[in-house]
A = this chain, B = another copy of it.
Amino acid sequence: MLRVYFDHSATTPVDRRVVEAMLPYLTEKFGNPSSVHFYGQESRAAVDRARREVASLVGARPNEIVFLSGGTEANNLAIRGVCEQHAEHGRHVITTSIEHSSVRGICDALGRRDWEVTRLPVYEEGVVRVEDVRAALRPDTVLVTVMLANNEVGTVQPVAEIGALIRERRAAGQKIWLHTDAVQAAGGLRVDVDELACDLLSLSAHKLYAPKGVGALYVRRGVRLAPQNVGGHQERERRGGTEAVPLVVAFGEAARLTRLELDARAEHVRRLRERFEAGVEARVSDFVYNGDRARRLPGVSNISFRYVEGEGLLINLDMQGVAVSTGSACSSGSLEPSPVIRALGRDDELARGSIRFSLGKDTTEGEVDYVLEVLPRAVETLRRLSPLYQKARTERACTPA
């Protein structure tokens, strides 16, 4: 069976060049970077090189990069780290209603611990408004956390404008910091911490064609954080634990390749997505796009198919070799319709019928065409079963044209 992976937002295959780069660190180069001897120094040097590459991907300095186990941990360290460190300055956090489940979970946990959390709306476009951020700012706001690009619909948030706003506040003496979750954005758009004027920025390697289990937090020089995983001098006391050397090396190489190839990758997936969406429009009726189509990551297309539920469609597609997702990969499996699609103002039915198609750098035209062959049939199969569809058809038949 032909297999087409259209779920690059959930995770990406590891680039062959990345595997090559890490392999020596899975075999002969196995030292603990904390060791003083040859083996240790060899690993230490490799971690330092990787740190420079990751820093360079986002326009940061190497010592502003903290390696850790992934995007979720980066978000934990950023949000909990700032809040715990600066609790004396205030206990108010501003975020959006479409953050990744990790940020949502962390903010919910803060909410249960004497913190006040303001969750801003994103409207039908799936984009937060800078005016709303401005209006929500309070003298006791210590952290604003707004993702750079959403993981379900791909919408890009106005982080640079929010950054400018926060800078103003800070210039006026407020103790306030800006975090952005750039886990999805980093593979799709140029990210520069100075342009964004952010203080903290989360990255995860497995969205950039590197393995799962490693990520990084950018921490602007001078920003103080309460470390979360403590005990050990690693990462300049900001994150304890023996460095995951092979993964860190892989992340470094993936960051280097992303920096060099980002524009070409973005152009490639944008072109294929156009082909895909044009094909869907020609072949399937009764669907809506989710999220502002102009302000989106180039490889993501999120569509709600009326009258059908997403998971059934997903499994139908999967049985024909097409891998997609419904809701966020992490929260799928729960009964609830996607909270992100709900936040766009969609009703439950549309929210349950949403499917994310996410293309990757190695996606081909042939794969797009295969999905365009399989998808309309799968939608049709499920609609034929759907009492909602039957009812709508009957109603339509009775309505004079």
> Residues of A at under 8 Å CB distance from B?
3, 5, 7, 10-14, 16, 19, 22, 26-28, 30-32, 34-40, 68-73, 75-76, 100-106, 109, 204, 206, 211-214, 228-234, 240-247, 311, 314-315, 317-318, 321, 323-326, 329-334
Contacts and interface: CB of A to CB of B under 8 A. Distances in A.
Contact of A37 (B40, B72, B325): B325
Contacts of A334: 233
B102 A204 contact: no
A101 B232 contact: yes
B30 A12 contact: yes
A213 B11 contact: no
Contact of A39 (B7, B32, B213, B243): B7
Given A7-B35, A100-B231, A233-B331, 15 more contacts: A10-B35, A19-B26, A19-B27, A35-B332, A40-B323, A69-B229, A73-B229, A105-B232, A105-B240, A204-B242, A211-B246, A213-B245, A213-B247, A229-B229, A244-B247
Nearest to A206: B242
Contacts of A326: 36
Contacts of A31: 10-11, 323
Contacts of A324: 37
A357 B24 CA distance: 25
A244 B69 contact: yes
A72 B238 CA distance: 13
A40 B10 contact: yes
Contact of A36 (B241, B246, B332): B332
25 contacts: A11-B30, A14-B30, A22-B26, A32-B206, A35-B323, A37-B317, A38-B321, A69-B69, A69-B73, A69-B241, A72-B242, A73-B241, A102-B240, A104-B231, A105-B230, A105-B231, A109-B230, A204-B242, A211-B247, A212-B242, A212-B244, A212-B246, A213-B214, A213-B246, A233-B333
B325 A36 contact: yes
Nearest to A76: B229
Contacts of A323: 31, 35, 37-40
B211 A244 contact: yes
A101 B234 CA distance: 11
A10 B38 contact: no
Nearest to A211: B246
A106 B214 contact: no
A69 B213 contact: yes
A331 B213 CA distance: 25
Contact of A330 (B70, B102, B242): B242
